[in-house]
């Protein structure tokens, strides 16, 4: 895949998870939360149940596009986790503890790369298959200020979320690039008529000519 010329760009959109941030291991906090409720399970069982919930979330993240949808999504995700673990706890009661065990860290090279893109005069946006909490998650990670637009529930590989971000920025697709770590990012960029570069972001930015 060839490089993209900086002179051909006015904006860069970025995926969130796997491109900008990664999840800190939630298993220790989940273990404590379960033990506080009388449930003792090996870490490997907790991790397996968590993976089941992650698979569910990936398929249903778009349902959390508003406050009511997010509340229901978080409850259902907790229910999926508890069911996979075989823990007879109430999902409404356990849900807040489940959500609070999720913490995200900025990936290496992200700050420097975002600073370089802004220094080049490019508009930046986040476009992610994430729920309504996307903006607050980016805020907790300390990187919200880099972005003029944040689009959640983007439903990539459909191009709608990417095009919505570009419309808000006032940038034509052919003058933009999307950076992401997943096949849906590449497919979404192609469908939107954008350039695409795969994560890691440091390498994507380094490939600009």
Among 152, 173, 193, CA closest to 62: 152
Whether 62 and 129 have beta carbons less than 8 Å apart is answered as yes
The pLDDT-based confidence of 3 (bands split at 50, 70, 90) is confident
What is the arithmetic mean of pLDDT over 109-123?
97
Residue 73, pLDDT > 80, answer yes
Whether 170 and 151 have beta carbons less than 8 Å apart is answered as no
Give the domains, in start order, of the chain with CATH numbers: 6-22+105-206 (3.40.50.1000), 25-102 (no CATH)
The pLDDT-based confidence of 1 (bands split at 50, 70, 90) is very low
Question: Could you give the CA distance from residue 184 to residue 48 in angstroms, rounded to a whole number?
Answer: 25
Among 185, 143, 174, 135, CA closest to 14: 185
Among 106, 105, 56, 50, CA closest to 76: 56
Residue 163, pLDDT > 50, answer yes
What is the arithmetic mean of pLDDT over 85-113?
96
């Amino acid at each position: 895949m060839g490089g993209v010329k900086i002179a051909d760009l006015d904006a860069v959109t970025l995926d969130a998870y796997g491109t900008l941030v990664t999840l800190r291991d939630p298993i220790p906090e989940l273990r404590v939360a379960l033990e506080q409720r009388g449930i003792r399970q090996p870490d490997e069982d907790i991790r397996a149940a968590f993976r089941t919930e992650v698979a569910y979330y990936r398929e249903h993240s778009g349902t959390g596009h508003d406050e009511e949808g997010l509340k229901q999504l978080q409850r259902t995700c907790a229910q999926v986790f508890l069911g996979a673990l075989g823990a007879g706890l109430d999902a409404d009661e356990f849900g807040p503890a489940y959500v609070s065990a999720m913490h995200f860290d900025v990936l290496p090279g992200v700050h420097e790369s975002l600073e370089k893109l802004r220094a080049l005069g490019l508009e930046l946006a986040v476009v992610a298959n994430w729920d309504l909490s996307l903006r607050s998650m980016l805020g907790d990670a300390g990187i919200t200020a880099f972005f003029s637009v944040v689009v959640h529930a983007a439903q990539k590989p459909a191009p709608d979320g990417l095009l919505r971000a570009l419309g808000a920025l006032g940038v034509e697709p052919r003058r933009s690039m999307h950076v992401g770590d997943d096949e849906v990012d590449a497919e979404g960029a192609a469908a939107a008529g954008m350039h695409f570069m795969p994560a890691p972001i440091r390498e994507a930015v380094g490939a600009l000519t």
